[in-house]
């Protein structure tokens, strides 16, 4: 994802609606992608991941979609709940030489309103 400086993009949704958070990644050779959720005052927590040989993966209430043609990743959250309010980061494994090296996007703030 691209840096947005001081202000994170914010997605505001109503409780119960579906949320879609988007991310553009930089390296067409990246073979692994991952989404994290970060609540205030805490470290990022794993949500879901996907490898480049897949274009969709589902978890509990979450789905990740990968479009390698346009280097785009999205996270869909079904039936969004107040507890989903957080900053969401995508990351790609950008590792020449075969090592793990996760590079994070700027993040998107999700605000869930009752």
Partner 1 sequence: DAGVIQSPRHEVTEMGQEVTLRCKPISGHDYLFWYRQTMMRGLELLIYFNNNVPIDDSGMPEDRFSAKMPNASFSTLKIQPSEPRDSAVYFCASSRDRSNEKLFFGSGTQLSVL
Alpha carbons 16 and 18: distance in angstroms, whole number: 7
103 binding partner 1? (CB under 8 A): yes
114 binding partner 1? (CB under 8 A): no
Q: How far is the CB of 44 from partner 1 (least distance, A)?
A: 5
Bridge-based pairing of strands 108-113 and 10-14 is parallel
With left for phi above 0 and alpha for psi between -120 and 50, is residue 33 left, alpha or beta? beta
Does residue 64 contact residue 56 with C-beta atoms inside 8 Å? yes
The binding track of 4-43 with respect to partner 1, each residue x by CB under 8 A or -, is -xx-------------------------x-x-x-----xx
> C-alpha angle 74/76/77, rounded to 5°?
150
Smaller CB separation from partner 1, 78 or 102: 102
Alpha carbons 43 and 45: distance in angstroms, whole number: 6
Q: How far is the CB of 21 from partner 1 (least distance, A)?
A: 15
Smaller CB separation from partner 1, 7 or 28: 7
Residues forming the site for partner 1 (CB under 8 A) = 3, 5-6, 32, 34, 36, 42-46, 49, 89, 91, 93, 97-107
């Amino acid at each position: 994802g691209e840096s947005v400086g001081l202000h994170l993009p914010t997605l505001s949704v109503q409780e119960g609606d579906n949320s879609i958070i988007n991310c553009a990644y930089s390296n067409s050779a990246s073979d692994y992608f991952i989404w994290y959720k970060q609540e205030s005052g805490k470290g990022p927590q794993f949500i879901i991941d996907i490898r480049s040989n897949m274009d969709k993966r589902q978890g509990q209430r979450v789905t990740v979609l990968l479009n390698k043609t346009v280097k785009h990743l999205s996270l869909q959250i079904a039936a969004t709940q107040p507890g989903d309010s957080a900053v969401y980061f995508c990351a790609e494994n950008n590792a020449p030489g075969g090592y793990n090296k996760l590079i994070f996007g700027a993040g998107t703030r999700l605000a869930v309103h009752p």
